Structure 1
């Protein structure tokens, strides 16, 4: 089957040049993204909750989950396999005049689904933390710069740590550590990932448990393994973090 072109919509209508110009010039907003498979989405309720909470946090009002669902279905256009990004923005907000409070507009982008990040990953620990880490926001300059530097150094990606060596998250993913029959999720400022929540919720069914606690780089040698997860890469083993294999 041939690949199809991406499509962008604003509140259900084809995006205009004016809409996209504002998006290019004003870097204020939030989004979520996910894979559509067989016309369905894993963890859709969690993606909707993320959008709802981000809308209230950043704009003071949300279009509501019923409207999000309507716009997603409209944008999918009957496709049963795709990648979708749903973004929130407001043309009323600019760098000079950021005070608008009200319902944001909704941009949906539908494109062919991307492959997973990797089959295995070798990452490097980097002192970094995302701005407003609990939000999946559009200010991604820092993440892109860190990933670019990691790959230039020969790694697949970067793992964020604070100035005391405590692990938080990766550039666009969460990390879990294996200790016997327990998955350890780092306890730190980070984005609560949808894939992370789905993996965590499924652990009891395979005889595993989980806990959240602070994880230091100095602790890495004590774990049996590690993996990353996000919506594009449901799970991927980490083969090494710097020199720790």
Structure 2
């Protein structure tokens, strides 16, 4: 069953309305199972860093861990946990007022099975403040909707120079048959991407990747905390083999990473 709390107590309608109406805050999302998760320290680092950027305030890491533990299922079932940092006292007129961050912590059941390969369409779009995982998701969801209406599963964002940046809610990794390649463009520094980069046993590099230069790659994957490593079957008109050995190796490297106690 899904859980929702604010600062460890019931999520009262007034404070939820404040978040919904102002839509100013930031978050992180992680997958937890049996009280453990991958990359906990990186998720906490993100929340602390983004809180300074968004609110000019400090965040207590130990409090975040406590709030997450409160909402985890007693039976250890896998869930997706989202920690949203916001201040219900801020208003439209003075978002620069001194902020007191509050923690909205929610869960939803984790997917029971790995989702299938993605078919994605590129689109010229840049998130506001791409280095922050903020709650301004309208533009991303609109691009995802447009891609789905056009017969694709999701959108892959391009920067102003036409270079691959990031998916709507995931990071992109490509493999040229010899090395793992991370697109070098303004994008969210994803926790799962960072973990996979650490775990990958082979050579890797960052470089700009043009949308019209995908033919040299043999495999592509989308990575985020919810699904881990997900193969991409096609980007626009370029197809990739979802069953390529490089995909299996990336997935195995990620799944071998140890989980930390929350």
Quickly name the TM-score band, shorter chain normalised: over 0.9
Gaps of 5+ in 1: none
How many corresponding residue pairs? 238
The residue aligned with 2:187 is 190
The residue aligned with 2:259 is none
Cα offset, 1:218, TM superposition: 2.0
Give the SS at the match of 1:235.
strand
Could you report, residue by residue, the CA deviation over 1:44-79 in whole angstroms, capped at 9, with x for unpaired residues? 111111101111111111222111111111222535
The residue aligned with 2:118 is 121
Determine whether 1:210 maps to 2:207: no
Contact 1:39-1:79 within 8 A present in 2 as well: no
Contact 1:62-1:103 within 8 A present in 2 as well: no
* Structure 1: distance between partners of 2:175 and 2:113: 21
- What pairs with 1:11-26 in structure 2 (closer than 5 Å)? 11-26=7-22
Determine whether 1:237 maps to 2:237: no
Give the SS at the match of 2:215.
helix
* Structure 1: distance between partners of 2:177 and 2:46: 32
The residue aligned with 1:163 is 160
The residue aligned with 2:53 is 57
* Structure 2: distance between partners of 1:86 and 1:227: 25
Could you report, residue by residue, the CA deviation over 1:99-141 in whole angstroms, capped at 9, with x for unpaired residues? 2223300110122223578311111110111111001110000
Gaps of 5+ in 2: 240-262
Selected match of 1:93 from 86, 90, 93? 90
Contact 1:46-1:194 within 8 A present in 2 as well: yes
Q: 1:7 to 1:90 in 2, by over 3 A?
A: same
Q: 1:91 to 1:171 in 2, by over 3 A?
A: same
* Structure 2: distance between partners of 1:170 and 1:90: 28
Q: TM-score normalized by structure 1?
A: 0.93
Q: 1:79 to 1:105 in 2, by over 3 A?
A: farther
Q: TM-score normalized by structure 2?
A: 0.87
Selected match of 2:42 from 29, 42, 46? 46
Determine whether 1:67 maps to 2:59: no
**What is the root-mean-square deviation in Å for CA atoms of aligned residues?**
1.4
Give the SS at the match of 2:238.
coil
When structure 1 is superposed on structure 2, of 125-134 and 100-109 the one drifting more is 100-109
* Structure 2: distance between partners of 1:53 and 1:115: 32
Cα offset, 1:164, TM superposition: 2.2
